[in-house]
Amino acid sequence: MSRRIVVTSALPYANGAIHIGHLVEYLQTDFWVRFQKMRGNECVYVCADDTHGTPIMVRARKEGITPEQLIARSHDEHAADFAAFGVGFDNYYSTNSPENKAFCEAIYAKMVETSALSSLQVPQMFCEHDKMFLPDRFIKGTCPKCGSTEEYGDSCSHCGSTYEPTDLKDAHCAICGGAPVMKDSEHIYFELEPHRDFLAKWLPEHTAEDVANKLMEWFGEPLRGWDISRDAPYFGFPIPGREGKYFYVWLDAPVGYMASLKNWCGKNGQTFEDWWQSDATEIYHFIGKDIVRFHCLFWPAVLKVGGFRGPTKVFVHGFLTVNGEKMSKSKGTFISARTYLDHLDPAYLRFYYACKLDGSTDDIDLNLDDFVLRVNSDLVGKITNLASRGIQMLRKNFEGAAGRMDAEGRAIWDDAVARADKIAELYETREFSQVLTSVREIAEEANKYFDRKAPWALVKTDRDAAREVLTSVVNVFRAMSIYLKPILPAYTDKVAAMLGEAPYAWADLDKPFEDRPVGAYEYLATRIDPKNVEAMVKASTI
């Protein structure tokens, strides 16, 4: 019986370009979604641009355009980058949408109705010139700990200290440079403490053990409320009945998951209630570990009060480092998706990330030398080489007609197919690196068989035996391609087209490809020239 599944990735902010760090999340989510679809499950992958907040408003003002124009441009750029990397959203939407506004207002009404809110006068820095309260990132000054200048109002990039904006020396507005003043403003808080027992039970049931244990450290003291309001001027949704107050972006951003799903439902003759609200539906959030507190404390409590069901599981991943360090603009390792695409095939990054990703919250490292080596050695040298030699020799020597497998070749194919349940389990648990380890083992065995049988020589003495070897190699490669489809969908679709078959489903694994014509070989993957990587790094260096 097929499963009904809703999958989300965290929403990228509309004030910046997609980069290779972001892609860790979207690619691993895409691997998982594509696997579910190959298995025949009803799986809908929704996401959206996170479009509200002060940075959007300020940037639009600087560019002399409206916030709506800025987020429309950003949406187009993000969608194009994701599509180029093969991220197969079923719906990529925007938080600045009527569905999102309606959900936010409905949830807020429930918060008011259930007395889930409190208010507090909060002293904040205010810019008299720009007539606005300044978020931490719009205040700059001298770090109170180490004396580094031009540091943001919440943390120091030089010594790593965190502090309050009021602790900064020589504090000034990052927009106009003027000195801010302190003013009180009423802020609205969603109280978490009343949901302590609910959250203490919810966490271990819906997150990994290490994530739940880390979050339970917050339970040693009363859970602090979350500030859900911001003052005008602000680009976002007004809070009903509260003049000059807007929903903070962190409230309406996750509601964007539901809004995107509702929008998808409207386009596809479905109802939101049958998907999000049904106990028969599984809901999975893929997020980075930097936003765990929000998604595993605030968000489930908000959904509970609002009358909406929460996620089945929250899958948490680590950060990306490049060459063992944080991404750096000065070293050229802070690489945008678009710059990568200017120099390299996106399939190579999909393959490499899959080599490194598992179901843990550990960081992964993109070592650029290892990246070249893995692609050239494993994807091109071990996996693709089988197809290149096997299919081209069938075309050259047997007019593209595959025959039957020999006994030894069939045994290798049987072993490959017998791994299906284990590899499916690895996909399900997001152990993508182990999937590729298994595929690499199959490739190594097939290459040994190919070299041992030497069909290029055998064809001169025993044509039938040579065709059996080539047919066996094509069958083993076909099985590997099916296993790789969630990771390399365009690659595997080319394989299916070469073999005259429809796009593969998981159920196609155990069907032998025998006594069938083989089409003309189309190059699937070529070796990376290290000079292209060097050019990409140079283009990213500031």
How far is CA 37 from its chain centroid? Answer: 17
For 369-508, CATH number? 1.10.730.10
For position 392, what pLDDT does the model report?
A: 95
Q: How confident is the model at residue 164 (pLDDT cuts 50, 70, 90)?
A: confident
Beta-strand relationship, 139-142 and 117-127:
unpaired
Q: Three-state DSSP class for 289?
A: helix
- 160 pLDDT higher than 80: no
Mean pLDDT of 292-319: 97
CA 38 to chain centroid, in Å, comes to 19
Q: For residue 140, give the nearest of 153, 127, 131 by alpha carbon.
A: 153
* Residue that has been written with the tokens 């940037």 in this structure: 59
How far is 538 from 542, CA to CA, in rounded Å?
9
DSSP 136: G
Q: State pLDDT tens for residues 462-475.
A: 999 999 999 999 99
pLDDT over threshold 90, residue 428: yes
The DSSP string of 463-519 is: HHHHHHHHHHHHHHHHHHHHHHTTT-HHHHHHHHHHTT-PPP-GGGTT----S-B--
State both tokens at 53: 């907040």
Instruction: Kindly state the percentage of the chain with pLDDT values over 70.
Output: 100
The verdict on whether omega for the bond into residue 254 sits within 30 degrees of 0, i.e. cis, is no
Q: Are 57 and 13 in contact (CB under 8 A)?
A: no
Q: How many CB atoms lie within 10 A of CB 197?
A: 8
* Mean of pLDDT values over 419-425: 98
Confidence bin at 239 (pLDDT 50/70/90): very high
**pLDDT at 167 (0 to 100):** 85
Q: What dihedral angle (degrees, nearest 10) is formed by the CA atoms of 158, 161, 165, 167?
A: -100
Residue 512 scores a pLDDT above 80: yes
Residue 220 pLDDT class (50, 70, 90 cuts): very high
Residue 533 and residue 367 in contact, taking contact as beta carbons nearer than 8 Å = no
How far, in Å, CA of 17 to CA of 262, rounded? 26
Mean pLDDT of the chain: 96
Dist. CA 537–CA 333, nearest whole Å: 6
Confidence at residue 432, expressed as pLDDT on a 0 to 100 scale = 98
pLDDT at 138: 84
Q: Check residue 157 and give its pLDDT.
A: 80
Instruction: Write out pLDDT tens, residues 429-455.
Output: 999 999 999 999 999 999 999 999 999
Q: How much is the pLDDT for 124?
A: 85
pLDDT over threshold 80, residue 75: yes
Residue by residue, DSSP assigns 31-63 as HHHHHHHHTT-EEEEEEEEB--SHHHHHHHHHH
Topology annotation, domain 4-111+193-317: Rossmann fold (3.40.50)
pLDDT for position 1 = 82
Count the Cβ atoms, other than its own, within 10 Å of residue 107: 23
Task: Give the Cα-Cα-Cα angle 243, 248, 251 (nearest 5 degrees).
Answer: 120
The average pLDDT across 151-169 equals 82
Q: Is the pLDDT of residue 99 over 80?
A: yes
pLDDT for 263 equals 98
* Over residues 156-164, mean pLDDT: 80
Question: How does DSSP classify residue 13?
Answer: B
Instruction: Please report, to the nearest 10 degrees, the dihedral formed by the alpha carbons of residues 129, 131, 134, 138 taken in order.
Output: -50
Q: Residue 464: its pLDDT value, please?
A: 97
Q: Check: CB of residue 491 under 8 Å from CB of residue 525.
A: yes
**pLDDT score of 174 more than 90:** no
* pLDDT value for 20: 98
The pLDDT, as a whole number, for residue 484 is 98
pLDDT 10s digits, 492-506: 999 999 999 999 999
Q: Using alpha carbons only, how large is the chain's radius of gyration in Å? A: 27
Residue 132 has pLDDT above 90, yes or no: no
Cα-based angle 168, 169, 170 (whole degrees, multiple of 5): 120
Residue 161 has pLDDT above 90, yes or no: no
Domain ranges for the chain, please list them. 4-111+193-317, 369-508
Q: Which amino acid is at 192?
A: L
The answer to whether residue 261 scores a pLDDT higher than 80 is yes
CA pair distance 409, 415, nearest whole angstrom: 10
DSSP one-letter code for 238 = B
Tell how strand 117-127 and strand 132-133 pair up: antiparallel
Which tokens sit at 438?
């298994």
Q: Please say whether the beta carbons of 41 and 4 come within 8 A.
A: yes
Which tokens belong to 37?
């679809």
HEC assignment per residue over 262-313: HHHHHHCCCCHHHHCCCCCEEEEEEEEHHHHHHHHHHHHHHHHHHCCCCCCE
Contact of 102 with 108, CB cutoff 8 Å: no
- The CA dihedral of 354, 355, 359, 364, to the nearest 10 degrees, is -100
Residue 165 binned pLDDT confidence (cut-offs 50, 70, 90): confident
Q: Which residue has the tokens 């690659």?
A: 491
Please state, in angstroms and rounded to a whole number, the distance separating the CA atoms of residues 153 and 173.
10
In percent, how much of the chain has pLDDT > 90? 89
From 444, 450, 443, select the one nearest 408 (Cα to Cα).
450
Beta strands (DSSP E) in 343-488 are 364-366
Residue 368 token pair? 């650029």
pLDDT for 498 equals: 96
Residues with Cβ within 8 Å of 437's Cβ and at least 6 positions away in sequence, in order, are none
* Total-model pTM: 0.94
